[in-house]
């Protein structure tokens, strides 16, 4: 190998090693998303698995945004399904067979059973045994939304609550919650500094 080829090879190897180290050591998907895309990481690996269960979409998505199972651990979904008679102030009871089928889907695809990057991060920030019933009460969610003001969410008539993911996350239904896809009604796009 001649000297020129060796130098170019060393430079490329160093650049690849540095970029991959940064891409995999960063805790900020948005900041390093371009490296993930450059190295071939598929978009779905960054978010959470999209909802693909028709029964869950019909029964739960008929009343509210069909939250992806990968946003909470299995123990949270189990507890939630056990309390459908008082589901955040509403009676959401289902026939036992339907409730069991939906619970099985939620548990199987929960954050602690997922290979999706955002699901893994949700679990990384969760305390052992913690069983949140609201996604907005998880440490990861709080960290990601800590700069948003009341005016942007609760007092915003087009949003109203952190529970309305799809109001600001334009690709939420696909399981993607990347910053460059955020559009807060009345405020526009959002990029965390």
What are the pLDDT digits (tens) for 70-100? 999 999 999 999 999 999 999 999 999 999 9
Q: How confident is the model at residue 191 (pLDDT cuts 50, 70, 90)?
A: confident
Q: How confident is the model at residue 26 (pLDDT cuts 50, 70, 90)?
A: very low
Residue 114 scores a pLDDT above 50:
yes
Q: What's the token pair of residue 44?
A: 């779905």
Q: What is the pLDDT of residues 37-77, one digit of tens each?
A: 455 555 446 799 999 999 999 999 999 999 999 999 999 99
State the pLDDT at residue 24. 47
H-helix or E-strand spanning residue 183: strand 183-184
- What is the end-to-end Cα distance of the chain in Å, rounded? 45
State the pLDDT at residue 128. 92
Residue 28 scores a pLDDT above 50:
no
Distance CA 116, CA 88 (A): 27
Give this prediction's pTM: 0.77
State the pLDDT at residue 190. 81
State the pLDDT at residue 14. 60
Catalogue the E-assigned strands of the chain.
Answer: 183-184, 188-189
């Amino acid at each position: 190998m001649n000297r020129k080829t060796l130098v170019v090879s060393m430079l490329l190897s160093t650049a690849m090693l540095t970029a991959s180290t940064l891409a995999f050591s960063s805790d900020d998907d948005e900041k390093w998303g371009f490296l993930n895309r450059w190295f071939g990481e598929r978009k779905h690996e960054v978010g959470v698995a999209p909802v693909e269960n028709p029964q869950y979409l019909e029964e739960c998505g008929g009343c509210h945004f069909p939250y992806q199972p990968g946003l909470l651990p299995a123990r949270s979904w189990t507890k939630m399904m056990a309390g459908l008679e008082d589901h955040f102030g509403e009676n959401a009871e289902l026939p036992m067979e339907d409730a069991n089928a939906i619970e099985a889907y939620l548990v199987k695809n929960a954050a602690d059973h997922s290979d999706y990057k955002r699901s893994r991060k949700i679990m990384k920030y969760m305390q052992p045994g913690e069983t949140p019933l609201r996604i907005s009460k998880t440490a990861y969610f709080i960290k990601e939304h800590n700069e948003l003001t009341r005016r942007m969410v609760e007092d915003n008539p087009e949003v109203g609550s952190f529970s309305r993911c799809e109001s600001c996350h334009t690709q939420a239904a696909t399981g993607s919650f990347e910053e460059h896809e955020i559009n807060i009604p009345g405020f526009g796009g959002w990029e965390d500094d």
